[in-house]
Structure 1
Amino acid sequence: MTPSVGPFPVYHRKKAGGHPAARFFFSYLPMPSLHPSAAADNELTDNRHRPPVRTEYRTTDAPLIVTPTFLTRADNTPRAERTMDPGSTKGRHGEGIENPDAEPAEIALEANPNLAYEHWDEYWRKVHGPKFAYEEPGTDNEPVLRYDQVHRFAGGPSSYFRPPYKAMITADKKLVSDPYAQVPAYQRPRFDGFAYIAYAAEADIQKVLKQPQYDKRIIADEQTAFRLVTREIAREYILLPSPQHRDPLSLVKIHYRRPELSREEFQQRLLGPHAALVLAQPATHTYVRRYAQLHNIGSTQQPDPEGNPIDAVSVLCFASVNDVEDYLATDDYQAIEADEATFIDLARSEFWTGLNYSVINRLLPELATRR
């Protein structure tokens, strides 16, 4: 039988070798599953790297190190509208396309612009995700404790079009008769999603990513699927843990500080008084299933022009889109946003909603971070 997370976990305490900050990890042995799966025996699937197939888990209350890798998709958007990494948006013969809008038929990922978004979204989850989780002979990716993909979708709440959504009416309270003349402009957020990858220590990032599988073949895959990838490193603080880590939706809030604050001052304010305010709101405990902050502490490579300026990210998880909408419409959230305006540059910052896909998860149960 394949194992699944059961209600009565067994813990075996052991020291976290090589990670003194982590204090202790625990082995977590789930209860047997009543739902066997052939995916458990297939080394090519990513199912074997997460529940219910994986058989041993670890957990910690120390801050984890995260690479919150924000990205944009490979498509025919003009370079002037969206920045491009050198060598990205590969053509059909392996070369980076300098001006994808001038030659969209050459884009390797999808030559038909009408299918570009859908094909990219499918490729990231169903092709790139399993490639990242797979271990080539000689590769060790066990230091990757968690790898989630968060795919932004336009129908979810964003800072550019926020709930509550209202019917468009005339002065006599009838629906507008010329909707073709009153279509709201679409404002696209800066990124299309992010890869949320967690490690126990910063040294583990290079330990994994310098292996040929990642340094060569995963990078080549990134350059096929994405036009830009940020490289920031963050310290993760879990304020509301998600015991099963299977929440379907995330509200992703990308924060830039007000100019009078240093990054350290900003992060202290975010983690201290502001987090306390968020957690003090009854609506938070009604709607939010998980709340984490990611504090920028550097980058894995330079230059990182899009990742470096990000001071922190807040990630709040929900059970449904309606829960996100209803939370943002509450008076409690208005109090949260009023506090944000006192130390966050709201004109530069943005939020959007994404679908969560868990590709690797070796952390169970998730614990609140020791502070």
Structure 2
Amino acid sequence: MTDLAREPLFRPPHLPSAPGSNRPLTVLCSFLSRADSTPLDIRRRADDHMLDHEGNPLGDPAAHTAANAFETDANLNFEHWGEYWRKVHGVRFIHAEEADDRSLERLLRYDQLHRFAPGPTHTDAPPYRAPVDAQGKLWPTVIGHIEPYRRPRWDGVAYLNFAGAEDIATVLGNARVREKILPEDRVIFRDIAPVLARQYVVVPSADGNEAVTLVKTHHRSPAIDRDTFQRWWRHEHARHAAAHARPWVKRYAQLHAIGPTEPGQPLYHPEASKIDGVTLMSFASVGDLEDFLRSSAWQAIGEDEARMTDTKASEWWTAIGMVLVNRIGPEVATDPNG
């Protein structure tokens, strides 16, 4: 069977799904940046990532654009990367070569969240305003009035759901993944920041296939520890946010970081270790997200978050969600005491 024929079998209605549980799942939420020519002083690069055509790490991605094994044309890089990640890498990841390879059955859900550049971000959110002169008139030319583009830190998220941490080792430790997928990661990704988390679904999805997701990182206030922040977040703040979420938000999940905070530990990453939680709020459309961000509900949620978080350290942006695997259905809310 070809990949084209196989891939839909990992999603409903083709895949017999199991009812969701009210117990928290273990999630690997990996923030990704594409293998591009951004200078090293602007964007971090993971060790041994970004290779040349001979398979050797590039010394300076900005100085050797033509040597980039993934894409040599900087003008095409963002488009090519998004297309390749979904249409090639995603299909390779869920392609079981051997008939007796059952490791992928441990993967309950796999979404690719591709950052959508035209969507709202923490640096440029609705209401948008037309650039005008002191009299409120449009400039006769946009030349000289185009603001610099403020790019978020990451280009996307690989969102993988498991029943428990032991299943992560089964899926990612498979020989096929170790020998053929992880080496590909070094070519197409500039950096991978894995956030190991315990997931609490506050507003469950009706169909598991929302189009648009707001991805937001959270850093606790320096005055409190991680446990205190997460306890408040999943109990008090979750109720507050859920009360303001409807009718816009179709799914709301909190990812509570449980990963390593010290170098040398498995899955440690210097950026990921600073993240205490990740919010995933999903919507039917970009229009619904923009309406939500204009509402008093979004303002109320932000004011509540500011009581316990370092808002300057957080960032959020819009993603287009693409579901490659989903064995969960229907999803149910997670017990906050689970």
* Aligned residue in 2 for 1:343: 308
Stretches of 4+ aligned residues off by more than 4 angstroms: none
Alignment of 1:96-115 (within 5 A): 96-115=57-76
Report the AA paired with residue 191 of structure 1.
W
Task: Report the secondary structure of 1:286's partner residue.
Answer: coil
Deviations, residues 38-87 of structure 1 (Å, cap 9, x unaligned): xxx54564222112322343422210000000010001111111111111
Task: Report the secondary structure of 2:43's partner residue.
Answer: coil
* Aligned residue in 2 for 1:257: 220
Aligned residue pairs total 329
1:293 aligns with 2:254: yes
- The one of 173, 187, 194 equivalent to 1:224 is 187
Report the AA paired with residue 334 of structure 1.
Q
Deviates more, 1:94-103 or 1:190-199: 94-103
Deviations, residues 163-218 of structure 1 (Å, cap 9, x unaligned): 11012222322112342112112111111110010000111111111111112211
Alignment of 1:1-371 (within 5 A): 42=2, 45-137=6-98, 138-139=100-101, 140-281=103-244, 284-299=245-260, 301-371=266-336
Deviation at 1:238, TM superposition (A): 0.4
RMSD, aligned CA: 1.5
- Structure 2 gap segments, 5+ residues each: none
Contact 2:215–2:279 (CA<8 Å) still a contact in 1? yes
Deviation at 1:342, TM superposition (A): 1.4
Identity of aligned residues (%): 39
Cα distance between partner residues in 2 of 1:166 and 1:210? 49
Cα distance between partner residues in 2 of 1:96 and 1:213? 23
Cα gap change, 1:324/1:56 in structure 2, threshold over 3 Å: closer, same or farther?
closer
Cα distance between partner residues in 1 of 2:195 and 2:221? 20
Task: Report the secondary structure of 2:335's partner residue.
Answer: coil
Cα distance between partner residues in 2 of 1:302 and 1:318? 30
Cα gap change, 1:43/1:183 in structure 2, threshold over 3 Å: closer, same or farther?
closer
Cα distance between partner residues in 2 of 1:286 and 1:274? 18
Contact 2:201–2:253 (CA<8 Å) still a contact in 1? yes
Report the AA paired with residue 242 of structure 1.
S
Report the AA paired with residue 226 of structure 1.
F
Cα gap change, 1:169/1:116 in structure 2, threshold over 3 Å: closer, same or farther?
same
Cα distance between partner residues in 1 of 2:3 and 2:206? 27
Report the AA paired with residue 40 of structure 2.
R
Contact 2:3–2:91 (CA<8 Å) still a contact in 1? no
| TM-score of the pair, normalised by structure 2 | 0.94
Q: Whose RCO is larger (CA < 8 A, sep 6+)? A: 2
Deviation at 1:151, TM superposition (A): 0.3
- Structure 1 gap segments, 5+ residues each: 1-40
Contact 1:243–1:367 (CA<8 Å) still a contact in 2? no
Deviation at 1:98, TM superposition (A): 2.4
Deviations, residues 294-341 of structure 1 (Å, cap 9, x unaligned): 000015825411211110000000011011111011112111111111
Deviation at 1:246, TM superposition (A): 1.1
Deviations, residues 120-164 of structure 1 (Å, cap 9, x unaligned): 000000011011111122532110000000000111011010111
